Amino acid sequence: MSSSISNELETLQNENQLLRLKISELEDQLESLRRGREGEDPLEGFGLADERYFSRRLRESILAAERYARFVSVVLVGINNGKSDNSTSSQATLDAATKLRNELRETDLVAIADSGRVYLLLEEAEPHQAVLALRRVLGEMVNPFPADYCLACYPNDSNREETLLELLEHRLTEMKALSNEGVQRVHLGSEVLSLSN
């Protein structure tokens, strides 16, 4: 009896995931139709994504990672421009995001949120792999921009996208409170590492 219930539960969970993916595909189609009417998204020309697309991809990535027992790493980039009010110009944000996009894998997503925050979505990357990727990227940049990086990972930190994003914001706040002495760093939750090679 319990085996039958377990099988039925597993079937329903699989159907639920398939339906979520179908909804996501339909949302993408709807967004494509809207873009056709409104013109091209200006971020697309730089290979970047907006907040809506980032949120949808993060949700899809978590579902796929859950299904196939994989990792998803999300990085929040806190651009340091030397201003005391923590504001960053939209041009500085665009420049930083474009540099990151040019150095990361094609499968990685670089997004600029409505708030001006830059997010990286590194699918199938465990935390240590994400740190290695950030070190490689910064090592290859001719003029790296000053920034702090905060990392959260599915399933290590949470299995909910909202919680992952909240953790990133909290970690960025903690990073800004620390003296950085010009060193690029990444906050992993349990530790803060230098990104210098």
Which among 193, 190, 182 is positioned nearest to 131, based on CA atoms?
Answer: 193
- Confidence class for position 83, pLDDT limits 50, 70, 90: low
**Does 158 lie in the same domain as 101?**
yes
Tell me what the pLDDT averaged over the chain comes to: 85
Q: Are residues 101 and 11 in the same domain?
A: no
Please state, in angstroms and rounded to a whole number, the distance separating the CA atoms of residues 119 and 157. 17
User: Could you tell me if 135 and 85 lie in one domain?
Assistant: yes
DSSP track, 114-162:
TTS-EEEEEET--HHHHHHHHHHHHHH-SSPPPEEEEEEEETTT-SSHH
Do 82 and 160 lie in a common domain? yes
Q: pLDDT tens across 13-62, in order?
A: 888 888 888 888 888 877 777 766 555 566 766 789 999 999 999 999 99
Question: What pLDDT digit, counting tens, does each position of 106-147 carry?
Answer: 999 999 998 889 999 999 999 999 999 999 998 888 777 888
- Please report, for the domain that includes residue 165, its CATH number: 3.30.70.270
* Domain count within the chain: 2
Query: pLDDT value at position 86?
Result: 46
Per-residue model confidence (pLDDT) at position 42: 63
Domain span including residue 7: 1-39
